[in-house]
A and B are shown apart, each in its own frame.
Chain A
Amino acid sequence: MLRINCPWCGVRDELEFSFGGESHITRPTLDADDLQWSDYLFNKENPKGIHCEQWLHKFGCGRWFNVARDTVTHEIYAVYRMGEPKPDLAARDSD
């Protein structure tokens, strides 16, 4: 069971949240070619190590936020709001 620290509601069980996939994906400009669109639409970082991802506090405040979580240990290193930059966690990354 993950215990996720919602920035607005505090620490709650994983069951209250739903997962929204990788964060910080930037939509390319309209003149992007097929390769760039494909990369944007489909390709994933999918790291073995720290993953920056979106979570929704579905059965709580109903707000989205970002989580930096290790995909091997499931340890959560940072919780931060949408729009904030990726935290610098290079020293803790096992990948």
Chain B
Amino acid sequence: MKGYSAFELIRNAFSGHRHWKPVWRSPEIKKTYDVVLIGAGGHGLATAYNLAKHHGVKNIAVLEKGWLGGGNTGRNTQITRSNYYWPQSAAFFNHSLKLYERLSQELNFNVMLSQRGILTLAHSEHEMEGFRRWANAIRINDVDADMMTRSEIKKLVPLIDLDCRHPVHGGFIQRRGGISRHDAVAWGYARAADALGVDIIQQCEVTGFDIQSGRVRGVNTTRGKIGAGKVCFAVAGHTSHLAKMAGFRVPVTSMQLQAMVSEPIKPCLDTVVTSSVIHMYVSQSDRGELVFGGGADAYNSYAQRGGIPLLQENVAALLELLPAFSRLRVMRQWAGITDITPDTSPIMGKTPVQNLYISGGWGTGGYKAIPAGGDTMAYTIANDQPHSLIAEFGLDRFVSGKLIDEGAASGVAH
């Protein structure tokens, strides 16, 4: 892999930037692989990269039914944070944030991480009390969190209407939280994995598993059979669909989560603002577009478009809090299919089928977990044993009853 550098940029400038090479191959499919990953989103690609880089697995394929990074990795609102309540979640998501902090160097690809802080608003005294407890728990978990007064919030977000219908009483901020560029995360991992010999195969949909005496031996795809020593699926909203093919059921509901962007404007919002009561979150991208969203559509769906009633709610919520944006046009609106679990924590680890692994249940917050998901799932697949950071996130927690209830930790309630 040719590294990106200022020198390369200048060198290519002399030839009018016409000679940059494609950054990953479109390889022929081999008959068998040591590890097959299903889904070339952030988690699949990061897992492939870590397997190749740190666990010496050389013969890896990542299969993608559409195009690389075209699912939820390219549809989320790019927020990274680790302000979780329970110690298991905080340890895992903070590991992820730390990996994000050096990801551009690790991948030699600028993921444009901007740690502009993530501000969570409270709209009543009772909510403020809850937030003090929450922020304190976060700090005990060794993650940064600071309570914010109304005047501090007004100073940070001058456009906010603190006396809106549900007046803002205060909030808390995780200053290390922020946004990055989601496409760059997928492309950076794809490029780095490809350079380590990982075959990324797009337009190849898995249609079934080859399972013999309880052990996975390969996958059937729209481009033929592929043998595999181990298989892991990281397919977000299609988690139930793949589990069904493998013959087991999962505690997952697929729902549409929509987001939208406004036309680009000059910099006016340099933090991420979220409110669970008003039910919205918003940030401004480096291109100047406001990126915002709210709750998930109420019913099961695989449709990737999002309903009009919720779109209207999301826009109304944004304008309630930041009325100055009322004259902006919405440029694009879309939805991703999120795989929501009963405790809104992810499902990572082994499955009832031997050598078949799951990385799913990411629900509305998988993007922030990509580096840690890749790191821990690669370990889990290589050693056939859950990494210590994800040991409590297995499917078995739904039988033991040891749930990790993070219903309150999503940016807004879903």
A93 is an interface residue with CB less than 8 A from chain B:
no
Compute how far the CA of A71 lies from the CA of B256 in the bound complex, rounded to whole angstroms: 10
Question: When chains A and B are docked, how far (Å) is the Cα of A15 from the Cα of B297?
Answer: 11
Q: Could you tell me the distance between the alpha carbons of A1 and B313 in the complex, rounded to whole angstroms?
A: 13
* B261-274 near A? 1/0 per residue, CB < 8 Å: 00000000000000
B302 touches A71 (CB 8 A): yes
Q: B303 is contacted by which of A1, A45, A72 (Cβ under 8 Å)?
A: A72
Provide the residues of chain B in CB contact with A45, threshold 8 Å. Answer: 240, 249
Q: Tell me which of A1, A15, A34 contacts B399 (CB under 8 A).
A: A34
Q: On chain B, which size bracket covers the interface?
A: 20 to 34
Given the known interface contacts A34-B399, A35-B399, the answer about A51 and B309 at a Cβ–Cβ threshold of 8 Å is no
Contact of A43 among B250, B301, B303 (CB under 8 A): B250
Asked whether B303 lies within 8 Å of A71 as measured between CB atoms, the reply is yes
Interface size on A, residues (CB 8 A): 27
- Which listed residue (B249, B301, B307, B398) contacts A71, Cβ 8 A? B301
Q: With A19-B299, A46-B300, A53-B299 known to touch, is A39 a contact of B249 (CB < 8 Å)?
A: yes
CB distance from A4 to the nearest CB of B (A): 10
Residues of A within 8 A of B249 (CB): 39, 43-45
Chain A residues near B244 (CB, 8 Å)? 47
Residues of chain A contacted by B309 (CB below 8 angstroms) = 1, 14-15
**Known contacts A34-B399, A39-B249: does B241 contact A48 (CB below 8 Å)?**
yes
Q: Which residues of B contact A29 (CB under 8 A)?
A: none
B6 at the interface (CB under 8 A from A): no
CB pair B300 A71 closer than 8 Å: yes
Q: How far is the CA of A51 from the CA of B255 in the complex (A)?
A: 13
B66 within 8 A of A: no
Q: A14-B307, A39-B249, A71-B254 are in contact. Are A51 and B399 (CB under 8 A)?
A: no
Interface of A is mostly: mixed
CB of B342 within 8 Å of the partner chain:
yes
- Which residues of A lie under 8 Å from residue B399 when comparing CB positions? 34-35, 38
Any chain B CB within 8 A of the CB of A26? no
Q: Is B81 engaged at the interface, CB distance under 8 Å to the other chain?
A: no
Known: A1-B309, A34-B399, A48-B238. A42 touches B342 (CB 8 A): yes
Interface residues of chain A, those whose CB is within 8 Å of chain B, are 1-2, 14-15, 18-19, 21-22, 34-35, 38-39, 41-48, 51, 53, 69, 71-74
29 contacts between A and B (CB under 8 A): A1-B307, A14-B307, A14-B309, A15-B309, A18-B298, A19-B298, A19-B299, A21-B253, A34-B399, A35-B399, A38-B398, A38-B399, A39-B249, A41-B342, A42-B342, A43-B250, A43-B251, A44-B240, A44-B251, A44-B252, A46-B240, A46-B252, A46-B253, A48-B238, A48-B240, A48-B302, A53-B300, A69-B299, A74-B303
